[in-house]
Every structure is written in structure tokens, then in C-alpha cells.
Amino acid sequence: MTDLGADREYASRLSACPACDAAPLAARIADSAAARGDLVLSLPTAHCAACITDVERALLAQPGVRAARVNLTLRRVMIDAPGREATDFIPVLEGIGYEAHELDASALGPTAADRQGRDILMRIGVSGFAMMNIMILSVAVWSGASGATRDMFHWISAVIAFPTVIFAGQPFFSSAWASLKGGRLGMDVPISLALILATSISLFETLHSGHHAYFDAAVMLCFFLLIGRYLDYRTRAVARSAAAELTALEVPRAVLLRDGAEQVVPLADLRPGDMIRIRPGARVAADGEVVTGMSEIDRSLLTGESLPVQAGPGMMLSAGEVNLTGPLDLRVTAAGQDSSLGRLTHLVAMAEATRGRYASLAERASRGYSPVVHLLALFSYGLWMYLSGDWRVALNVAAAVLIITCPCALGLAVPAVVTAASGRLFRRGLLIKDGTALERLAEVDCVVFDKTGTLTMGQPELVSLDDLPDTLRPVAHAIADASGHPLSRALAAALKGAGVPIAPLDQAAEVPGFGVEGRWQGLRVRLGRADWAGDAAQEPVDADGPVSLLSVEGHAPVLLRFVDALRPGAAECVAALQDQGRRVMMLSGDTAAAVASAAKALGIDEFRAGVTPAEKEAEIAALAQAGAHVLMVGDGLNDTAALARAHVSISPASALDAARAASDMVLMGQDLQPVAEAVALAVKARRRIKENFAISFGYNVIAVPVAMAGLATPLLAALAMSASSITVTLNALRLR
């Protein structure tokens, strides 16, 4: 097991109770990120790696800005600038061509994202339909049509192509115009210039009865470029902010006790020292200490603990936990952003905004694209003006250079592979949310699993039914059926499956924090904690799994043992990962005995029990600091920060929304074996990505000199560009 050493010292707790392993959460977040100095602006038009560089450079040049980080997935930038206002930076970003405003959740919501996707698809449909019609018209010209017949076909093509280019090319034109207004040359500038030149030259040739028009090239450019843009959009649109999911768990109002009377107040009005009431079934609104009441608390959201824990006076609770059985009065110690849930939310937001060393190969390659393409096209124009003295020839050559170097193949190199690989993985039950996840997954050398709900099903099963006498089974069924506790439900399900009837039971009642009791034929019946249901002096039983005690007055108590069943394919998945030479670990908030038992059954040598959310995130950070590329597989709220911090992450579909949102992939079925298959496939996918880049690079090495030599018309350039895109796509489809 890894020793965190000094990295664990950060666990100086900023929580309700430093001694409680469920509440403390990452004090270093408060110390490092200057929470009070963070401003958040949304950037609706940011879409590529160049946008990140431009925005961060412009903001860091402003006085008082200590840090600025762009989260491209969420299209927002976090600015650490104490004492500054958001209005100070909006004009700065608008000055370099980026729309910016204070964070507006509705602008980033699913509705806006869906509209954007539909808009791109509509433009793809229009350009594709127009392209097919123009290509049919072009066949006649290629076949030798001349004179008035050729001119007629050119004019018909112009009528179709001109409005199509204006409509379908609007995303590129808008982005290019914004870049030029900001004094930059973004990737969309040469694309827009190529579209304008191809269309303009074609119109000029048509007006002067020229032999060649390139309307099909212009529309084809729009079609393939929009496909690349949509693939990129889809990889980003499915990712939602895990921090937003965590924020949604906050209770908006709390029941404040003032002079013995209940008063519902907004959460923002709570202050340390206030008394609040937590009703059964309600989520704990703030960190605090239980003053009165007995209940059971479901803290699986924060700790991964598979079973509820007893809560009574003096116990510290954390925001986000759920009160199950009895009312509790709580003295607030921290609320809102200062609560455990608030700190976890901030922790996840910072982890999401942190970019690792590994960036998309496509983004890295594209940074030098625009200046090189413009220089080559300008050089070609000048050279041919000097050699021929004909501006039409020179302009045709320059347009051919711009078109033939169009980054369609480059843009499809990664999305085409991701699409092919994601289709294969989807058929195996894995959904990829992030387009770069496969690239990062190929680098994984360490896999960290959560236990409850990930390696196990998170559902206790009775394993000691034979220990329960036949005479007591009907009453056991009755008392278990009267309780909503997970162990009671498991007992009732086992007895129902065995065909055991339910005995008549009187006065059945839940005793918060202890169990359930009732009367059967005048005898007292109890089911619950061993030290309550049996002898009051009896110590809790130390077992490999959860236990419950059934006591019927006049009969010997019966100890019922449960296990959390392993997830199907878990053992095979662990074995396959180990066979691939990858390190496998297990981190769980469950008890030491339960974790050790699961680790033994799965063949995992490195494991830790009783791990808090902050400790999980710290463990992942420590592994990364040591040079490991970590795959985190988890399902609970307690795993969310670790999922966001990991190099790549996977969560089951049964996981909480926050965990699924923080992960890069979602396991749709129960079988865990596709996780190991995904790691192996990722290595193949990365190889295909590199092959696609080699194809794209080799294509440009050959095609650019041909275009600059004047041996390719804009139409031939468009066909060559399309051929490179198709080649890249076919190579990617080999993964299927």
C-alpha cells in the first residue's frame, strides 16, 4: 500500500470534527485556490486549444491576476484576482474576440447545448444535400460539356452553392471574424479564406464563361469541416460539470430552531451556532454536532460506507448525508461553501479545471497550422505573380494551397478513431464521454478501484440462512419486512425467496439507530445491532461482512451474516489488468474487515479501508506526483473528487449523477470485464491516432508542393483533401 508521506499532512481538517473520518475535506483547497478571489466567466465561443492560450495570456497580463485557467469542456475561465470584479475582465476578453460574461447557468445548460448540436447537424444536412447535387452537375462538365451548356451548369451550381456556403460556413466565418477583430489568426481564418476564394473564383469564372468553376470544392469543404466540428462538439457536449452535480445536492432551505419554534430559512442564512432540525428522510443541510435525537445516517454519498451508521448526541454530521429513521437537532458548525459538501464541490471544480501534461495530439498539432498555411499561400501567390504575371493563375494556386492543406484529415484523426472505438466499446457496455479519454487510457499504468458499488454490487446478501431455525423463520420474515434497513430488506428477500410465510406481528416499530422490534405471540422480538437485540453487555461482532442479530424472547439469539456480492466480471477484470502489467489498488471508505475480505477474493494486494473523500483524492494526486497515470473506477459521491483528479476515470451507470459526470467513461452494464478490455483497446486506438497523424502529415508533404507547383486546381485540391479524410476514416474503422 502506498505511503502518502508528507502529502497526507494536508489533512489538517477544515471540518466540523477533526476526529471524524467522514467529515474532513481538503483544507489545502481553502489555502491554495484563494476561494474568495476566484471569478468565473463563461466563454460561449471558446472551442479549441488556441482559445485556451489566448484567453489565459490576455488575463495573466492584467494587473492583480494571479492565475487564470480555462475549462474548455465547460467553456468557462476561473480567474484568481482578489479585489477585482468580473466587469474588469469582460472588455479585455471581448477585445481579443471572445464573448464573455459572468457565469450564467442557463447559457451552459443542456437546452443551449442541444440547440448547438442541432444547428451543426442542420448545416451538415444542407451542405451534404447541396454537395451531391453540385457533384451531379459537375459530372456533365467533367464529361466535356462546353459553351452555353457548360455555362448553364455553372450557373445552376452557383445558385445552389452560394447560399449554401454562406449558411453552412457561418460557424467558420463568425469565428474567423472574431479572431481577426482580436488581432489573431485562428484556425478558422484560413478555412474561411479558402471558402471565400473558392466561391469567388468560381463566380468570376462563371461570369466570364470560364472553363473551370469550383463550387463543388467549396461546398465539399463546408460538409467535411462541419462533420469534424460536430464530432468534436459531441465529445465535449456530453460532459457535464461534476461540481454542478455536487452543488445540486445542497439543501436550499433548513429548519431553524429559534426559541423552541421551527422556522424555514434559506441555507445562506445559517450561521455557526444555529440549531437546526433534520427530519427523517431529509438531507443534512450543514456540518454540525447532534444535540438531541437518535437515528441512523446514510453517509455513503461522502464516505462510501455501505451501511447506515448510528447517530446520537455528540456525533458530528456532514452536509449531504441523509437522515434515515429519527429526527435530529443539530448545532451548526459550518454551512454553505464552508461545509464539507461545499469544500468537496470546490475540490472537484479545481480538479476539473486542472489540465494534465497530456493534451490531445490534434490540439498540439493544430497550433502551428494557421500561420504556416497563410505563409505558404502568400508565398505561392507572390511566386506565381512573379512567374506568370497573371493574378488569376496566382490566385488559383493560392486557393489550391489553402484548400489542399485544409485540416480535415487532421481534424478527423482523433474523432474518427474515437467514434470507431466508442462504437465497439458501446457494444461491450462502455460509453465514452470525453474524446481524449482513449488517448489518456492508453497511458494508464495504475488502476484504482472503489469497493462498494464498483467491485461489489453494493447490495448485502444473506449467507447464514441455514443458521436460522425453521420455527423462527416466519417471525424473522415478519420483523424484517417491518424495517427499511438494507440488512432487513436483504433478510426479507432471502426468506421470501425460500417461500417462508410472514407470521402475524404486533407493535412493530423502528428504533432509530438500533433496529426494529415488535411482539409475536406475546414475546418480544428484536432485529438489529448485536449489543441491542441481544445482551446489553454484548460487544459488536467483528466479522468479514455486516451482521444483524435476531432475538426472540425465550429462544437463543441468531446471528445473521451478510456479504456484499462481487460485481460480475470483477475478478476477471482485475486478473486481466494485472496480466497487462498494470498495478491494481483498492481504496474504500468501508470497514477494514469488509475491504480485506473483498481484496482477498479478487486477488488485490494493495488496498486501504476507511478512506475519506479527501484522502482518496490525495492518494490519486500522490500517485500522479510519483509519475503514475491513474485510472480511477468508482461510483459514489466520495469518489467524485478522485474521479476528476485521475488521469482517466470510469464509473458504473448505477453510480450517482455526480460521479458519472466527473468520469470520462460510464459502464452501462453490471459486468466489469469491459474495463480491462477498454484499456487494451485504448492502446490500439492510440496507435491508430498516430497512424492517422502520419497519414495527414504524409499527405501534406506530398500535396502541398504539388499545389504550390501549380499542378493542382482548387477542385483537385478539394478532391485530394477529401481523399485524405476518407483514408483517415477508413483507417479508424479498422478498430471496429
Can you spell out the DSSP letters for 159-224?
HHHHHHHHHHTHHHHHHHHHHHHTT---THHHHHHHHHHHHHHHHHHHHTT-S---HHHHHHHHHH
Phi-psi domain of 34 (left: phi exceeds 0; alpha: psi -120 through 50; beta: other): left
Quote the CA–CA distance of 206 and 243 in Å, as a whole number.
56
* Distance (Å, whole) CA 664 – CA 675: 12
Provide the CA 674 distance to its chain's centre, in angstroms.
18
Cα 230 to chain centroid distance, Å, stands at 19
* Whole-number Å distance between alpha carbons of 586 and 598: 9
Residue 474 identity (one-letter amino acid):
P
Q: What is the DSSP letter of 567?
A: P
Strands (E), 538-605: 547-552, 558-566, 583-587
Nearest CA-CA partner of 130 in 196, 201, 220: 220
Looking at 450, 481, 590, 664, which residue is catalytic?
Answer: 450
Residue of 640, 490, 484, 22 whose CA lies nearest to 299: 22
C-alpha distances (whole Å) from 257 to each of 12, 268, 297 are 31, 15, 21
Residues 6+ apart with CB under 8 A from 224: 408, 721, 722, 725
Q: Cβ(511)–Cβ(482) under 8 Å?
A: no
The reply to whether 467 belongs to the active site is: no
Q: How many CB atoms lie within 10 A of CB 87?
A: 10
Q: Across-strand partners of 667?
A: 430, 652
Q: How far is the first Cα of the chain from the last one, in angstroms, to the nearest whole number? A: 38
Residues 338-351: b if buried by 16+ CB within 10 A, e if exposed? bbbbbbbbbbbbbb
Give the CA diameter of the chain: 112
Q: Provide the annotated active-site residues.
A: 450
